Structure formats: structure tokens, C-alpha cells
Amino acid sequence: MSATAFAIDPGAIRGCLFRNTYIWLNNGEQFWFFPVFVGPNSVAGFRWFGFFWGYFGIDLNRISSFTCF
């Protein structure tokens, strides 16, 4: 069995633009995120670092799942 890379579809996460979003990464990290840009392979926005918001970008293939409110 070979490893297969999966990625979140940009069309799916586009519905979370400018909304509070909770992200789970493949490596187990999880955090609040406020996306402001969705590209074909990445998403960018503001990530909550525990005490402040910081601008942050990540490849869609690193995201395991997400939910937005």
C-alpha cells in the first residue's frame, strides 16, 4: 500500500472566507483561523497564537479537516 496525499478542496474552504474557522492539521495541531484568501493550493489569513492574531498561510494538503462558524 502506498501513501496518498489528500488535500482540502479550495472550493470547500472558500465557504469559510471571512468567518471564524477551526482547523485541524495532519500533524495533530489545531487552532482558530480567520481566512482572507484561498488559492488553488493554499489558504492565508489570521491564526490565533494563544495571545494574538498573526498573519499565516498554509498549504491545503496539510489540513486534515476544518469547520467554520
For residue 27, the enclosing domain spans 10-68
Q: What is the pLDDT of residue 1?
A: 52
pLDDT of 3 above 80 = no
Q: What is the pLDDT of residue 64?
A: 96
pLDDT per position as a tens digit, 19-62 = 999 999 999 999 999 999 999 999 999 999 999 999 999 999 99
The number of domains in the chain is 1
In Å, what is the CA distance from 14 to each residue of 1, 49, 51?
Answer: 32, 22, 26
pTM of the full predicted structure?
0.89
Identify whether 58 is part of a domain: yes
CATH number for the domain that contains residue 35: 2.30.30.100
Identify whether 3 is part of a domain: no
Strands 42-48 and 30-38: antiparallel
Identify whether 19 is part of a domain: yes
**DSSP conformation letters of 6-62:** ----HHHHGGGTTS-EEEEETTS-EEEEEEEEE-SSEEEEEEE-SSSEEEEEEEGGG
Identify whether 1 is part of a domain: no
